Amino acid sequence: MLALLGGKPLRDVQSRPWPSWPVWGEEEKERLVRALESGIWSYNGPMEQECLSWLREYFSSGMPLLAANGTLTLQLALEALDVGYGDEVIVPALTWQATAAAVLDVNAVPVLVDVDPDTWCIDPSCFEEAVTQRTRAVIPVHLYGCTADMDAICSIARKHHIAVIEDAAHKFGAQWRGKHLGSIGDIGSFSLQLSKVVTCGEGGILLTNQQDLWERLEALRNCGRRSSNMIADASGGQYGLEGDFIQSGNYRITEFQAAVLIEQLKRADEQNELRLRRARYLDSLLSICPGIRPMPFDERETKKAYFNYTFSYDEKDFGLPAEVFRRALGAELGIEVDSCYQPLNDCTLYRPLTKRRYQISPEHRKAIDPSRFTLPVSQELYASRAVTFHHKVLLGSEEDIEQIAEAVNKIADNRDSLRALS
């Protein structure tokens, strides 16, 4: 009997738990104590500098900065590009709310566009159709296991003189045509929040290979201070500031975050490779199940990386509503099985009209109302096609992966017993 109907779950998570997340060891512990004892608790400490040198070497073609989280990195990227009131920024409808919220927070208008039904990432033709005289930037999001088509996006952006901010929150370590995601557009943004594949609890990385943008970003994350404006005193200390400034606030990270981050960065490639191997194996097992389609593999994704494992589900071919299937799979495996993000034109956590600061004029209010967008692909994915679960599962063994396929088959074999729930 299926676990959802009171039967024995396929996996007993008490005796056989899934890999836990985050992964940490003595290295992180030792660093945290060292940061504590050093008394350097704020920003630009030695471990933050160590993270930056590590990232410079890793990304080779990009100049990194660290910031408080992956929402603010998007906001600072927009501010560095001087995007503000009266401007439009094109954002895919299927993403975490932060991608669009950052646009609201610089007082520009997020223009929501639909996604590609196969990759779930921004559809380049929808992007181009949405371009107007006011469009200043596009934010492709490399969602879950797939990559936005950076060839098409960069070519459309170039044609219309639009900046590209890559939201690579999900994609630390992935590459497109041999280039790191996050280093292809004008500015790349990563999240280091706990759920992400590289984490220090909260945090974000900004990446650019344009010196002028890097200088603006550096100032924007640090109350407008530019290191080039610092005046050194005779002993080499810094005591003053001169030159031009931009208005900003404190968006920095602490040395405690850096202490954890440096060790997590060192683990990233190995974990990504393991997740990729496991995801490919699971793809191969699921591809023979009717009604289940693994995510596509684009040969331009020269290094694929996974934030959560996802696949496309077909209610008719499988014979059950997606919502029932997800619950049944979660019950067999003892994990949370979800749909994708809620499309932003109807998303519980994306409510632009609730803030007075955005209500500048009736026209602006209308412009930022997400319900004005029609996004059929995103809505169908959310309602009936998307199945996602946590990337920690991909850090398990081959047997763990086989058990996921076994659970899917068990549900398929017993689908008739679930029809009453539909």
Determine the Cα–Cα distance for residues 284 and 272; give it in Å rounded to an integer. 18
User: Considering beta carbons, is residue 11 or 275 the nearer one to ligand PLP?
Assistant: 275
Cα three-residue angle 254-257-258, rounded to 5 degrees: 90
203 Rama class: left (phi>0) / alpha (psi -120 to 50) / beta: left
Q: Which two tokens stand for residue 128?
A: 């181009």
**CB of residue 211 to ligand PLP, shortest distance in Å:** 25
**CB of residue 348 to ligand PLP, shortest distance in Å:** 15
Q: Which residue is nearest to ligand PLP (CB)?
A: 70
Determine the Cα–Cα distance for residues 57 and 43; give it in Å rounded to an integer. 21
414 Rama class: left (phi>0) / alpha (psi -120 to 50) / beta: alpha
* Residue 185 and residue 61 in contact, taking contact as beta carbons nearer than 8 Å: no
User: Considering beta carbons, is residue 253 or 286 the nearer one to ligand PLP?
Assistant: 253
Peptide bond into 22 cis (omega under 30): yes
Tell me which H or E stretch contains 274.
helix 255-286
Tell me which H or E stretch contains 333.
helix 322-333
Determine the Cα–Cα distance for residues 69 and 168; give it in Å rounded to an integer. 13
User: Considering beta carbons, is residue 141 or 187 the nearer one to ligand PLP?
Assistant: 141
Best CA proximity match to 106, nearest among 140, 77, 139 = 77
Signed CA dihedral, 86, 87, 93, 94: sign only: negative
**CB of residue 322 to ligand PLP, shortest distance in Å:** 21
**CB of residue 160 to ligand PLP, shortest distance in Å:** 23
**CB of residue 170 to ligand PLP, shortest distance in Å:** 6
Determine the Cα–Cα distance for residues 132 and 129; give it in Å rounded to an integer. 8
User: Considering beta carbons, is residue 69 or 175 the nearer one to ligand PLP?
Assistant: 69
**CB of residue 112 to ligand PLP, shortest distance in Å:** 14
| Location of structure tokens 């007993």 | 12
**CB of residue 317 to ligand PLP, shortest distance in Å:** 29
**CB of residue 169 to ligand PLP, shortest distance in Å:** 3
Name the E strands within 237-375. 238-241, 292-294, 309-313
* Residue 31 and residue 263 in contact, taking contact as beta carbons nearer than 8 Å: yes
User: Considering beta carbons, is residue 169 or 207 the nearer one to ligand PLP?
Assistant: 169
User: Considering beta carbons, is residue 307 or 318 the nearer one to ligand PLP?
Assistant: 307
User: Considering beta carbons, is residue 48 or 332 the nearer one to ligand PLP?
Assistant: 48
**CB of residue 215 to ligand PLP, shortest distance in Å:** 23
User: Considering beta carbons, is residue 65 or 141 the nearer one to ligand PLP?
Assistant: 141
Q: What's the Cα-to-Cα distance from 298 to each of 118, 145, 176, 270, 304, rounded to whole Å?
A: 11, 11, 9, 22, 9
* Residue 120 and residue 380 in contact, taking contact as beta carbons nearer than 8 Å: no
User: Considering beta carbons, is residue 195 or 379 the nearer one to ligand PLP?
Assistant: 195
Contact residues: ligand PLP, CB under 6 A: 69-71, 95-96, 98-99, 141, 167, 169-170, 191, 193, 204
